[in-house]
Every structure is written in structure tokens, then in C-alpha cells.
């Protein structure tokens, strides 16, 4: 393997190799880089390409997403009678279907089965990768949501430029993603659980996310390190139990569950228990 160090997918500064996790049952190693300038973490493009075909076939469908997201939106916005929204990676529509019934709801979803379920609850879903989404003609969106999506995209800059072009001048983009500068990531490095999900390929710090918005034509309105809305002890305990006992279908699907080394396995689970603000939420408008 070459020691060539790739450039940060957000700010293009140099990175350093944080470490490698070798897995059982998988030829794909979890190599983990970090930007020396903005702190963004990523997996090398060659590995990302191997990871992405593992594209999500299973996903949690938490019931509290709507309340969590709308808690950050203004009451005036929520009262508007007519709003056109796009949920990128809408899965079965669990989040977007709960928004006011008079709103026009659009989704993009890569998993055809989940997209069909979303269509059955009245969401206009386009099936495919966000990079190829054609939009809806001349019309623009008043709000675009990317909840747990950015970390799956190996070219975040081009995708956010695209989101900018799809957004109305008065609209906003809402992002929830991992926080590469959180305490667990700093302590556990390559053993931080978040970057070991095979389909997680880029994770920004708050500084990196701000830079990403800046480079893609957005002005940051709000940015905040947060806990994920599924970070309750019940969910975390279930994931760890599933990983240790092999009973969790979601984690079983992901090679993460079986690192070769005992110490890697302990580290991955401990890093999840540490919790803290291991995600970032941000709202941005067109600059």
C-alpha cells in the first residue's frame, strides 16, 4: 500500500492517516484519514468506492425524527400553508410524511423498496443517487433536508453546489451529520465507531462543514454540535448487544461488527458509549 496522502474532500488541505481497522469477513480495511487544517475525517476514495456498493439495505426508522427536526425550525415557517420540501435520502418517508399535509413533499432515495413505501404515503420520490437527481424543472425548494446523508457522499462539495442550485433564494438547507471533532473521535481515532460504518466515507468537523457551505454558495445561519436523536441509552445498548451477540441485523450487515482485533472491537463499542455531541446540525441559506 502506498503512503500517498489524499487531500481533504472539503478544503483540499493535506491529511494524515489516523489508522486502519482490519475486519473479519471483509477484504475492505477501514482506513481513516483526517485533514490537518479543518479536521474532517474521510476514507480514501479507492476504499470509499469499495464501501459504497454496500449501499444501505436496512435502516433504523426512529419515530422521533420529526419532533427533533421541527424543534430547530421557526414557528412561522411551520405555519406556512404552502411549502415545497425535498428530503434527500428520504427512505420510506418517515420524516417528511409528518410535515404539514398542505405542503408539497419530494424525496430522493437510492433504495427502491423504501422509495416505493414513501410513494405509497404520498411523497413524490425520485429513485437514484442524489448526484443524478434532475430536480423538478424550473421550480425550486423552500427547504432541503439532509439527515444522516452527507457522510455517505464522497464528493460533498459537488453535491452541496447542486443543493444550492435546487434551493429557492429564500429557502434553507438543513443538515445533520457526524462530528469529526467530537470527544470520542479525538480519543478513539480510527476506532471511533462512526467512521467504521462501511458506508460512512466523509465526516466533517464544524469547521469543515462551515467551509463546505462557504465553498458551495451557502451562508451559515446556525451550527451546533448535538447528540443524534437516536442516542438514547436503549438504542445504544441494543446496538452494542447486537454487535457482541451477533443478533442485530442492521449491524450484521455492516462489516464493522467484526473487527479482527479484540482491542479494535472494544474501542469501537466504548467510543459509542462515550456519546457526547458526536453529530452536528446546521442550517444554511443561499449566500
Contact positions vs Zn ion (CB under 5 A): 8, 10-11, 13, 35, 37-38, 40
Rounded-to-integer distance, Cα 266 and Cα 136, Å: 47
C-alpha cell at 70: 421541527
The CA R_g of the chain, rounded to the nearest whole Å, is 18
Q: Measured from the CB atom, is 35 or 114 closer to Zn ion?
A: 35
Q: Measured from the CB atom, is 133 or 192 closer to Zn ion?
A: 192
Beta-bridged to residue 85, according to DSSP, are 105, 143
Under 8 Å between Cβ of 269 and 193: yes
Q: Measured from the CB atom, is 118 or 210 closer to Zn ion?
A: 210
CB of 192 to Zn ion, least distance (A): 17
CB of 39 to Zn ion, least distance (A): 7
Under 8 Å between Cβ of 153 and 201: yes
CB of 37 to Zn ion, least distance (A): 5
DSSP H helical ranges for the chain: 45-51, 65-70, 75-79, 112-120, 156-166, 183-188, 206-215, 233-245, 249-253, 262-274
Q: Measured from the CB atom, is 207 or 248 closer to Zn ion?
A: 207
Residue matched to cell numbers 438543513: 174
Q: Measured from the CB atom, is 90 or 202 closer to Zn ion?
A: 202
Ramachandran area for residue 223 (φ above 0: left; ψ -120 to 50: alpha; else beta): beta
Rounded-to-integer distance, Cα 25 and Cα 46, Å: 19
Measured in whole angstroms, the distance separating CA 236 from the mean position of its chain's CA atoms is 18
CB of 75 to Zn ion, least distance (A): 36
Phi then psi dihedrals of residue 3, to 5 deg:
-90, 10
CB of 105 to Zn ion, least distance (A): 34
3-state secondary structure of 141: strand
CB of 11 to Zn ion, least distance (A): 3
Q: Which residues of 215-227 are buried (b: 16+ CB within 10 A; e: fewer)?
A: ebebebeebebbe
Q: Measured from the CB atom, is 47 or 211 closer to Zn ion?
A: 211
Q: How many CB atoms lie within 10 A of CB 274?
A: 15
Q: Measured from the CB atom, is 161 or 275 closer to Zn ion?
A: 161
CB of 131 to Zn ion, least distance (A): 21
Amino acid at each position: 500500500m502506498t503512503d500517498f496522502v489524499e487531500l481533504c474532500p472539503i478544503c483540499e488541505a493535506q491529511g494524515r492517516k489516523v489508522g486502519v481497522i482490519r475486519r473479519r469477513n471483509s477484504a475492505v480495511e477501514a482506513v481513516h484519514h483526517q485533514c490537518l487544517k479543518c479536521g474532517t475525517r474521510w476514507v480514501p476514495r479507492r476504499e470509499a468506492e469499495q464501501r459504497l456498493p454496500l449501499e444501505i439495505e436496512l435502516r433504523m426508522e426512529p419515530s422521533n425524527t420529526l419532533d427533533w427536526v421541527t424543534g430547530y425550525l421557526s414557528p412561522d415557517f411551520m405555519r406556512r400553508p404552502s411549502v415545497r420540501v425535498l428530503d434527500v435520502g428520504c427512505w420510506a418517508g418517515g420524516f417528511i410524511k409528518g410535515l404539514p399535509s398542505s405542503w408539497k413533499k419530494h424525496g430522493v432515495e437510492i433504495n427502491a423498496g423504501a422509495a416505493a413505501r414513501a410513494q405509497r404515503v404520498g411523497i413524490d420520490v425520485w429513485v437514484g443517487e442524489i448526484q443524478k437527481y434532475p430536480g423538478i424543472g424550473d421550480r425550486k425548494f423552500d427547504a432541503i433536508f439532509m439527515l444522516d446523508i452527507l457522510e455517505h457522499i464522497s464528493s460533498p462539495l459537488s453535491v452541496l453546489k447542486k443543493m444550492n442550485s435546487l434551493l429557492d433564494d429564500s429557502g434553507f438547507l438543513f443538515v445533520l451529520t457526524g462530528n469529526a471533532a467530537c470527544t470520542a473521535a479525538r480519543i478513539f481515532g480510527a476506532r471511533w465507531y462512526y467512521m467504521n460504518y462501511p458506508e460512512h466515507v466523509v465526516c466533517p468537523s464544524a469547521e469543515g462543514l462551515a467551509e463546505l457551505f462557504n465553498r458551495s454558495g451557502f451562508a451559515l445561519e446556525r451550527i451546533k454540535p448535538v447528540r443524534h436523536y437516536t442516542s438514547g441509552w436503549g438504542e445504544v445498548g441494543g446496538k452494542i448487544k447486537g454487535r457482541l451477540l451477533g443478533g442485530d441485523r442492521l449491524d450484521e450487515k455492516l462489516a464493522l461488527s467484526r473487527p479482527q482485533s479484540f482491542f479494535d472491537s472494544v474501542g469501537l463499542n466504548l467510543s459509542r458509549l462515550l456519546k457526547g455531541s458526536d453529530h452536528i446540525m446546521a442550517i444554511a441559506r443561499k449566500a
